[in-house]
Structure 1
Amino acid sequence: MSNQNFDPAQLNESQQLALGTYTSVTNQEPSAAVPLLQRSEWNVQIAIAKFFDGEAPDPVAEARASLPSSTPPPQSITREILLNGSTSFPRSPVSPPREPAPRIVPQPESQKTYRPPLLLSILFTPFNILYRLFTGSLSLFWYLFPFFPRLLPAISGRSVPARSRTGRRPLNPRDTAARFAREFEEEYGTHELPFYEGGYAEAYDLAKRELRFLMVVLLSPEHDDTSVFVRESLLSQEVLDYIKDPQNKIILWAGNVQDSEAYQVSNALNCSKFPFAALIVHTPQDSSTSMSTIARVIGLQPASAFVAKLRTAIAQHSAALDRVRTTRNEQQATRNLREEQNSAYERSLAQDRERARQRREAEAAQARAEQEIKAKADAKVQEAQKAEQWKRWRAQSILPEPGPDVKDVTRVSIRLTSGERVIRKFAENAEMEELYAFVDCYDAFKAGEDLSAAMEPTGYKHNYNFCLVSPMPRVVYDMESGGTVAGRLGRSGNLIVEPINDEEDEA
């Protein structure tokens, strides 16, 4: 399976799960992650370790290289030239040698100091004095025989902790870097070296992520050449200008080997002599995840030779890094474009959903409004029907007009809204509601319909939508005041029917 024609559908379910876990941790493209997972037998933990620490040499390739041959490999020659400190490289098409540069994370050590109770401190004071005398004599022995501490781990198979070797208090990587920078400035004065303010692992990851060169400088204060190297080489203007040049993309990390982290880095980089400097960079020609040591400056070197080695190593690997940067930029541009497209699609989808929601709400509101209008219209129709039914029913119970032989009557002239004038007599004991009922049911009387079968509508209360008014002087004879027609109008009356606008009253 080639990286260019990578198809995730070709992987089975377990391989796709391993690929997803690996890419979520390393943020590496799937096309570059699949070959590393295949070399790791699809073991995610091994692949992640290879990504951060670099891949170990292939045992098959090493076995083939160990076979006798009449012509030694050119890589061995170049490696020997580098170790001897030569600044010239043989003109050969073979790329310069590279050693894997592992990612070192210092082992965490407790920062908390246990303070025993006062009584125990007094009881154990003699043992404490004997222990300090023993450790002091042991430190003197290590000082007189400095080679012995390095032989002891090889014989016993264990490494000596940093605190037991130097007595320096172990700190976290960032505090260790700050302590080194402070001690360096106290020893050599104010300088312009851009030391990285963090641990080696942080600088390592930054150089790998941003495709920059990681320059590691390891110093031993007990070495005789350290002060000369720092003052004449490391702090020289030529070296300062080259390290600070942004075009060289150098990250400078330095450490004191008396500290635990720098000591572990020196062992990992196979440091055999101080002062020591190494240039580490991502080497895509070896692997998509490897970090390699491309230059080593061992011992005291003049500033010109120091810069020459750095310049040669950086020049040999800049082209490959530029290609990787271009590829990453294209991939990042593609990823950004995809994210922008997805974001635009999500925004468009959200707008469509919002418009659909608003449309549904508008349609529902319109439907409710139509239902309310229809309900009101139906209610009005039913109200009108019940009003007509009530009028026919009420017309049955209206008292008949008194005859000519009845003297105690009230003669009322009523002008209707249609302009018709009606004259009628009412008995002396007729209520005002009788007069209003006569006016309201006059159309039923006038039509001459058979009103005997009319029934009173259930659940209906009739309201008269008019009032009776005398023209001059204007007096309103409302029904709510009650009384009889004779008592309100006397022997006769001239009235006008004025309709009451219910809509205006409601407003």
Structure 2
Amino acid sequence: MSDASAEVDIAQLSEEQQLALQQFTAVTDQELKDAIPLLQRCQWNVQIAIARFFDGEPAEDPIAAAAAAAPPPRDIRQQETLLNGFASPRSSTSSGRLRRVEAAPRIVPQPESQVATQAPLLLTLLLAPFNLVYSVFSKFFRFTGWLFPPLTRLFNPGRASTTSRRAASGRKALNVRDTAARFAREFEEEYGQNNLPFYENGYAQSFDLAKKDLKFLLVILMSPEHDETASFVRDTLLSQEVVDFIRNPDNNILLWAGNVQDPEAYQVSVALKCTKFPFTGVIVHSPQVSSTSMSIAARIVGPTPANQYLTKLRQAVQAHKEPLDRVRAQRTEQQATRNIRQQQDSAYERSLATDRERARKRKEEAERKAAEEKEALARSEAAERHAHNLAQWRKWRAASIPPEPAADTEPKDVVRISLRMPTADRVVRKFSADAHIEELYAFVECYDVLQSGEDVSNVEEPQGFVHEYGFQLVSPMPREVYDVKSGGTVRDRVGRSGNLIVERTDLESDDEDEEEHVAA
């Protein structure tokens, strides 16, 4: 505890009282030892306290005197730290009271120039005249303040202090990453080459990383305006023992440091209730509160000798190392279980994909065989139907073939044809000279029916059947084909007599069908 807050422990104040104290000191720049009694006398009313600070207090106020005499209210919220939650009963009994968990805030800085509040439209219209008057008077007082600088602090002390602080620092506002890099560069330029592993990013990023990796976040806030900063850095922070302890990977320490002249570090100092510089805070995950909470495990304020500084760091790390190790082990076990489950799911998906591929191939093979069988059945039915229609057509056509000319017919009206059948039999028959060549083809086609002597008088022509002759008549010497499509009479095409050979033309298609059947 610092001397400024020796009379009242700031940690015992409620959140509303701490907020009131911050607002009062930001406006008045008064020391804490004087600000707290004044706020107590004003019952923690910031506006009354500010008015009394500038206007002077009355001689005696019974209500304020009673409020000053009363002890400050205590925060009745009962919490635990990691140290208290996992310490032995003996240590808890010896302490005499339960230690509270002080939640560590996550700060996302926002430049003051970007902070804007939009009032409702109706309220804006109603306050437009007042805003105009306020703008005129503010410009007048700004001009007056420029002519007489002491008046600026009198009428607006908070703004004057803020403006003077900005003017004194002269630092340009950068993004969090560039701000961290600038701090590391200025630190090296001021104190020389060092081995401190500064995290070159924002406080919020380091906060999230420490929570995710279960590390100790070591926050160091420094103010160059304090005379003790240089000695603290050279004698304590840069001592070899402290540097080795911070860099030791077994300690799992993530170091983030900042200059309170930068907006982000200043907001972090306000959020961590920093009352004296240099300031060191150890932030760690507190699993006994919740699975995502972060707490302040230790505070080291003001210049501290290296051995005492290192002792406090070791105590904070040692007190919270065991519960963090348990959480790490639990996370490792959960990750291992998750990996095993993912491997099992992956193996199941691969097996399922293999089974699906096999089923697909079996289905395709079955569909192919069914299509082939269906096609073969269709061809078989078509062949049977064609054979039936062909046999019926032969019987029907045999009934219309005229008989052979009589023996007493004039020789000039008769053509004698010698036919060599596909069965190698030779058939000699006479045809009428003016008979169409198709009569000769029909005789060859229906020869078996004519030879059987079957009664074909009542046979009808098959419906929808288009007959095509599967042979052609050819004379051997010289070779000449007498096709039926060319037409003509027998005498015109063959002459008075002829030796003809019956050549099959449907054998090629039959051979192809047989080859396809063998291949299937």
Q: Given the alignment of the two structures, is residue 177 of structure 1 paired with residue 180 of structure 2, yes or no?
A: yes
Change (3 A) 1:216 1:400: same
Whole-Å separation in 2 of the counterparts to 1:314 and 1:186: 30
- Structure 1 match to 2:16: none
Q: CA deviation at 1:173?
A: 2.9
- Structure 2 match to 1:503: 509
Alignment of 1:147-158 (within 5 A): none
**C-alpha contact 1:162 1:168 (8 A) present in aligned 2:** no
Alignment of 1:66-81 (within 5 A): none
- Structure 2 match to 1:41: none
- Structure 2 match to 1:486: 491
Whole-Å separation in 2 of the counterparts to 1:295 and 1:181: 24
Of 391, 398, 410 in structure 2, the residue corresponding to residue 388 of structure 1 is: 391
Q: Secondary structure at the match of 1:344?
A: helix
- Structure 1 match to 2:195: 192
- Structure 1 match to 2:8: none
Whole-Å separation in 1 of the counterparts to 2:486 and 2:350: 69
Whole-Å separation in 2 of the counterparts to 1:59 and 1:404: 144
- Structure 2 match to 1:348: 351
Change (3 A) 1:131 1:290: farther
Of 461, 475, 483 in structure 1, the residue corresponding to residue 480 of structure 2 is: 475
- Structure 2 match to 1:433: 438
- Structure 2 match to 1:120: none
Rg larger for = 2
- Structure 2 match to 1:61: 78
Q: Secondary structure at the match of 1:99?
A: coil
Change (3 A) 1:360 1:450: same
Alignment of 1:179-328 (within 5 A): 179-328=182-331
- Given residue 354 of structure 1, which amino acid in structure 2 is its aligned partner? E
Q: CA deviation at 1:141?
A: 5.7
Q: CA deviation at 1:219?
A: 1.0
Q: CA deviation at 1:323?
A: 1.4
Q: Secondary structure at the match of 2:206?
A: helix
- Given residue 416 of structure 1, which amino acid in structure 2 is its aligned partner? M
Whole-Å separation in 1 of the counterparts to 2:306 and 2:114: 40
Stretch of structure 1 that moved more, 233-242 or 371-380: 233-242
What CA deviation, in whole Å up to 9, does each residue of 1:108-133 have, x standing for no partner? Answer: 656699xxxxxxxxxx9x95994696
Q: CA deviation at 1:211?
A: 0.9
- Structure 1 match to 2:420: 415
Q: Given the alignment of the two structures, is residue 397 of structure 1 paired with residue 403 of structure 2, yes or no?
A: no
**C-alpha contact 1:465 1:502 (8 A) present in aligned 2:** no
Alignment of 1:112-127 (within 5 A): none
Change (3 A) 1:282 1:466: same
Change (3 A) 1:487 1:106: same
Q: CA deviation at 1:498?
A: 2.0
Q: Report the count of equivalent residues.
A: 405
Q: CA deviation at 1:326?
A: 0.7
**C-alpha contact 1:162 1:260 (8 A) present in aligned 2:** no
Please provide the CA RMSD for this pair.
Answer: 4.0
Change (3 A) 1:305 1:90: farther
Whole-Å separation in 2 of the counterparts to 1:182 and 1:393: 114
Q: Secondary structure at the match of 1:400?
A: coil
Compute the TM-score of the two structures, normalised by the length of structure 1.
0.69
- Structure 2 match to 1:371: 374
Whole-Å separation in 1 of the counterparts to 2:173 and 2:490: 116
Change (3 A) 1:181 1:132: farther
Stretch of structure 1 that moved more, 327-336 or 451-460: 451-460
What CA deviation, in whole Å up to 9, does each residue of 1:204-252 have, x standing for no partner? Answer: 1211111111000101121111222223322333322222222221111
Change (3 A) 1:232 1:242: same
Stretch of structure 1 that moved more, 208-217 or 317-326: 317-326
Q: Secondary structure at the match of 1:183?
A: helix
Unaligned residue ranges in structure 1 (runs of 5+):
1-56, 63-73, 79-88, 114-123, 143-147, 153-158
- Structure 1 match to 2:50: none
Change (3 A) 1:136 1:189: farther
Change (3 A) 1:484 1:108: farther
Q: CA deviation at 1:496?
A: 2.2
Whole-Å separation in 2 of the counterparts to 1:139 and 1:385: 126
**C-alpha contact 1:391 1:444 (8 A) present in aligned 2:** yes
Whole-Å separation in 2 of the counterparts to 1:267 and 1:437: 118
Compute the TM-score of the two structures, normalised by the length of structure 2.
0.68
- Structure 2 match to 1:465: 470
> Sequence identity, in percent?
54
What CA deviation, in whole Å up to 9, does each residue of 1:437-484 have, x standing for no partner? Answer: 110011111121222222222322211111223344443333233332
Whole-Å separation in 1 of the counterparts to 2:356 and 2:225: 72
**C-alpha contact 1:109 1:170 (8 A) present in aligned 2:** no
Q: Secondary structure at the match of 2:455?
A: coil
